Structure 1
Amino acid sequence: MGAVSFEALAFGKTADDAFRNAVEDAKHMHGHGGYTGTIVEKSSFEVIPKREHHGKQKRRYAHQLIEDGDERIQRKRGPAGAINCSGTNAAIRYRKQHELEGKHGDVRLFFGWVAH
């Protein structure tokens, strides 16, 4: 069994809410069968502090952490990474596509490696 990288945007009032929403969305799209290659395989996440990604493109930074084998997110059975994307163009598009404008919460990018 190998590993693949994944990324998922999700909205929530808290990081925990956004993580649960990302997992539920992936279950709906990819099923519950295991080894989906999605965030469904993750049970936890680690927030990447804003000071690390401030002023950087969020997806590009996430990809860099994956490529660099950052110890926080390098294990396929370990936690996902989480970056708050609120205020970015991707977050604005996500809110619009999901009719979330004006709702309290943040769009977060979850990413890392999963078993596949």
Structure 2
Amino acid sequence: MGAITFFEIVIGDDVDKAFNQIRDEALREHGHGGCSGSIAEKDDYVVIDDVRRSQAHAISQAVELISANDPRIEDKWGPAGALPLTTRTAQNAWLFFGWAND
């Protein structure tokens, strides 16, 4: 079994609700069988920092963390990373990212 990276963006202020929403959507799409290569494989997340950033900057930061094998998100069985985003509307959002079992 291998691992693949994933990146998911969810609009919402509450990180717990955002994580559960995107994970539930991935479980509906990919099923509960495991090895989907998606956030469906994650049971938890870790907020990397509290700095709100643009989507492009957040993805760039996430790619850097993945490439550097950051210990907070390097394990395909461990938590997803989470970075807070700003959007063009008044809403806030979250980028969830990391390695997932495929």
Partner of 2:96: 110
**Structure in which a larger fraction of residues adopt strand:** 2
Provide structure 1 residue ranges, at least 5 long, that are not aligned to the other structure: 93-100
Partner of 1:60: 60
Percent of matched pairs sharing the same residue: 37
Partner of 1:28: 28
Q: Is the 8 A contact 2:4 2:100 kept in 1?
A: yes
| Counterparts of 1:59 and 1:77, CA distance in 2 | 21
Q: How far apart are 1:67 and its partner, in Å?
A: 0.6
User: What is the TM-score normalised by the length of structure 1?
Assistant: 0.77
Structure with higher Rg: it is 1
Provide structure 2 residue ranges, at least 5 long, that are not aligned to the other structure: none
Residue by residue over 1:68-94, the C-alpha shift from the partner in whole angstroms, topping out at 9 and shown as x without a partner, is 10010000011100001123xxxx4xx
Aligned residues: 101
In the TM superposition, structure 1's runs of 4+ consecutive aligned residues that sit over 3 Å from their partners are 53-56
Q: Is the 8 A contact 2:53 2:85 kept in 1?
A: no
Partner of 2:49: 49
In the alignment, does 2:38 pair up with 1:38?
yes
Q: Is the 8 A contact 2:37 2:101 kept in 1?
A: yes
Q: Is the 8 A contact 2:85 2:92 kept in 1?
A: yes
User: What is the TM-score normalised by the length of structure 2?
Assistant: 0.86
Q: CA RMSD in A?
A: 2.1
